[in-house]
Amino acid sequence: MKRTGQIALTARFVNGVGRFRAGRHLLRGFQTLPLTRSLYAGLVGYRRPFASLEEAESAVSRYAQGGHEHPQNVRNHLGMYSRARPSDYAALFYIRPILSGITRVFDLGGNAGNLFYSYSNYLSWPDGLTWQVLDLPENMAVGEAIAKEREAHQLQFTGEWTDANGADLLIVSGSLHYLHRPLSEMIGELTEKPAYILINRTPMTDGTPVATIQDLGIFRVACMLHNKAQVIRELEQLDYVVVDEWKALELSLEIPGYPEHSIPAYTGIFFRRKDVPAQEMRFSAEDHVAL
């Protein structure tokens, strides 16, 4: 049996045992006792919590199969974003009222421009609006080819984070947990900070931040489970306020044997810079039909 198959089988066994109170006590003993914790870590392999994203990446590197750069990754994202997903409707609700004042969107970790195409089904972009995506070079190359084919002239790709300077809306959807630096630190480097920040589809915890592995079958990626209160606090220190937050119920993340770190639903949060006037969220009948 391949190592990845053994780890997957062990994870299923651990999940089964963990459904019972006695089983959870037994697993905790294996995880913590000096005589068994190394054996347990060896059996579950990369399907466990880690102290940092770098540690998780090191543990899964032999089994990543390309990770974010796997060709199937782009295909998966384009397929998933052909239509809005449940957690997108909260995002659309808050973007629509501010749309007339937006000229530039910066999509951090936007893959091949998936959200641009998805949101285009529900929003009419103002003339002159540009949507910039920053992602891995391989993914952006695919995105540029698709944009050319679809004549998506408003969609652009960049390899520079500093291009986020002066963006009206910063989108960090499905990507915050892959960043190697705190988002607040990155935004703090910008001379002109975005007016709005949309964080969506992010696994966040109310407890201690940990890293783990998302096993997507044919490839695997490390991710960080950030503490939600800490993320909010750090952005508040940059003069942002929370407009609203919601749950992305279509996504969850389970760490076998560690229910205290498992995420039953991902998180979405919409921020406004303090000096930006609050918008009244009012929808017409046409808006309800569109969404």
Q: What are the pLDDT digits (tens) for 259-276?
A: 889 999 999 999 999 999
Lowest mean pLDDT among 38-52, 120-134, 271-285: 271-285
Q: Would you place residue 243 in the very low, low, confident or very high pLDDT band (cuts 50, 70, 90)?
A: very high
Q: Would you place residue 154 in the very low, low, confident or very high pLDDT band (cuts 50, 70, 90)?
A: very high
Closest by Cα among 75, 12, 49 to 222: 49
Domain ranges, ordered by start, for the chain: 1-45, 63-290
Average pLDDT for the chain: 88
pLDDT of residue 244: 96
Neighbours of 67 (CB within 10 A): 19
Cα–Cα distances in Å, from 32 out to 23, 50, 56?
14, 14, 19
- Say which amino acid occupies 285: A
Average pLDDT over residues 237-255: 95
Q: What would the CATH number be for the domain defined by 63-290?
A: 3.40.50.150
pLDDT of residue 56: 92
Task: Please state, in angstroms and rounded to a whole number, the distance separating the CA atoms of residues 255 and 223.
Answer: 12
pLDDT over threshold 50, residue 210:
yes
Joined together, the tokens standing for residue 59 give: 């543990």
pLDDT of residue 80: 58
Closest by Cα among 240, 104, 96 to 167: 104
Instruction: Summarize pLDDT for 34-87 with one digit per residue, the tens.
Output: 888 888 888 888 889 999 999 999 988 887 665 566 566 556 656 655 678 899
Reduced DSSP (H G I as helix, E B as strand, rest coil) percent helix, strand, coil of the chain, to 5? 40, 20, 35
Joined together, the tokens standing for residue 156 give: 């652009």
pTM (2 d.p.): 0.89
